[in-house]
Each structure stands twice: as structure tokens, then as C-alpha cells.
């Protein structure tokens, strides 16, 4: 069974640009969550989607947005990039998105903002 | 109240020794406590998880001890091996229809041969 895949794996952008990251969950999983990982702030929750609906959102500015498609694939978008957006962006999937359910993480997209 | 505090930040253990990582939380609404292992260049992978209705859970060399009254839980790695060298994160989530995990700050474990 294929794991969670994220594309692209690496991305370099300049300040002010926008970026779109993609996540394909494990087949059959309907919940996708996104996390930002930085050395200073650790792993921080961005948002969670279930059946194409955003179910939960972390404490990030409106420049960060996401969506989920009918096949459960998800994208996140960051507009007007800032240097501080440089991070590893991880997505995780699970079957139903219940709080005590195992989440499977992808390898992440490493975003560098110059 | 949303924080999960993790210590130590880094840990060096000799091969065959016991590695112990501690976490503490404030929010009593948390009811699921997983531990994740992350190797460089990889995403976190679930190692072991516990619910508050049990005080201990063991899977192979990995054990979670849970103290509900103290709001603390810890990961014990018995017979630590060089292959266990990784970053370990504790996390917590609330009951209900949400997958939101609150992570600790991570512990970099180095097991020396």
C-alpha cells in the first residue's frame, strides 16, 4: 500500500511569491492534516480537512490556505511568501480523522524562501 | 493550556542503556498521547500511543508510562540501539472529530555504540 506522497519534495521561492504544495493521502483515507516544522517552533498544526471541508485551523495568518478535493488529495497554498515561511511542510492522513486514530505522515516538502 | 512540554532537548545514551523522554501537559481534554519518531529527511512515524485509561503500554523495547494525576507521560526505550538515534516527539490530541496534534518540542536521541 502506497504511503502519503507529497510533491514537490523541495522548493525554492523568493519573497513575495506564492507557492502550492500537494499531498496525496493513503488510499481510503479521508482526513488530511498539514503541519509546519521549523527548528525554532517545532511542529505546528496548520489545518485539517475531511471530506473536502476544513474542520480545524491552526494559528497561522490568512496567507496560508488549503483545500481538499473529492479524491481526498489536498493542496496548501502560501501567498506573499516571507523569509519566515521557510520550513518543512508535512501532511498526514488518516481514515476518519478521529482524535485517537493513527496519522501517517508524508516525507514533507522543504520550502526555502530567499 | 494547549502546550505539551518535552524534556530533555537532547539525550546521549550508550548502546544497551535505557533512554527516557518526558512530557507534560495542562489540558485535561487531551485523551490521546502518541509518540513519533523522525529520522533526518523523513516525516514523523508513529511509534506507540496511549489513552488515559491505562497507566502503561509496552510494545517491544518501547514503553509509555502515563500519570494522569500529574498530567505527565514518558517514553522509555529499553536496550537502546544505534538505530534508535532519531528525534522523538510526544504529542496530544483531544477527543472528538479532530486530528489536530499538539506536539512537544522534540528530543534528539543519540545512541553511542
Give the per-residue SS3 of chain B. Answer: CCCEEEECCEEEEECCCCEEEEEEECCCCEEEEEEEEECCCCCCEEEEEECCCCCEEEECCEEEEEECCCCEEEEEECCCCHHHCEEEEEEEEECCCCCCCEECCCEEEEEEC
pLDDT at B54 over 80: yes
Q: Tell me how crowded residue A19 is: count the other CB atoms within 10 A of its CB.
A: 18
Q: Which three cell numbers stand for residue B49?
A: 500511543
pLDDT of residue A30 exceeding 90: yes
Nearest Cβ partner for A45 among B44, B96, B101 = B101
Average pLDDT, chain A: 94
* pLDDT above 80 for B87: yes
Mean pLDDT of B97-101: 82
pLDDT at A96: 81
Q: Do A98 and B103 touch (CB under 8 A)?
A: no
Which pLDDT score is estimated for A75?
98
Instruction: Find the CB nearest A99 among B31, B105, B106.
Output: B31
pLDDT, average across residues B17-33: 95
Specify whether the backbone of B70 is left (phi greater than 0), alpha (psi in -120 to 50) or beta: alpha
**Mean pLDDT of the region B42-61:** 94
Q: Which residues of chain B neighbour A4 with C-beta distances below 8 Å?
A: 43
**Looking at residues B78-106, what average pLDDT do you find?**
92
Q: Are B101 and A57 spatial neighbours (Cβ–Cβ below 8 Å)?
A: no
* Number of neighbouring beta carbons within 10 Å of residue B107: 22
* Residues of chain A positioned with their CB less than 8 A from the CB of B31: 99-100
Amino acid at each position: 500500500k502506497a504511503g502519503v506522497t507529497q510533491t514537490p519534495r523541495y522548493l525554492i521561492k523568493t519573497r513575495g511569491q506564492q507557492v502550492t504544495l500537494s499531498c496525496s493521502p493513503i488510499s481510503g483515507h479521508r482526513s488530511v492534516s498539514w503541519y509546519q516544522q521549523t527548528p525554532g517552533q517545532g511542529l505546528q498544526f496548520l489545518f485539517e480537512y475531511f471530506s473536502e471541508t476544513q474542520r480545524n485551523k491552526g494559528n497561522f495568518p490568512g496567507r496560508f490556505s488549503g483545500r481538499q478535493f473529492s479524491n481526498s488529495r489536498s493542496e496548501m497554498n502560501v501567498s506573499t511568501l516571507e523569509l519566515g515561511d521557510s520550513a518543512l511542510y508535512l501532511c498526514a492522513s488518516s481514515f476518519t480523522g478521529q482524535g485517537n486514530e493513527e496519522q501517517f505522515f508524508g516525507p514533507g516538502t522543504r520550502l526555502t524562501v530567499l | 493550556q494547549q502546550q505539551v512540554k518535552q524534556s530533555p532537548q537532547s539525550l546521549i545514551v550508550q548502546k544497551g542503556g535505557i533512554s527516557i523522554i518526558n512530557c507534560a501537559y495542562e489540558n485535561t481534554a487531551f485523551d490521546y498521547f502518541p509518540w513519533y519518531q523522525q529520522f533526518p529527511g523523513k516525516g514523523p512515524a508513529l511509534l506507540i500511543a496511549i489513552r488515559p485509561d491505562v497507566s502503561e503500554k509496552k510494545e517491544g523495547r518501547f514503553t509509555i508510562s502515563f500519570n494522569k494525576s500529574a498530567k505527565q507521560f514518558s517514553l522509555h526505550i529499553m536496550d537502546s540501539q544505534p538505530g534508535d538515534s532519531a528525534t522523538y516527539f510526544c504529542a496530544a490530541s483531544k477527543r472528538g472529530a479532530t486530528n489536530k496534534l499538539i506536539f512537544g518540542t522534540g528530543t534528539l536521541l543519540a545512541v553511542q555504540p
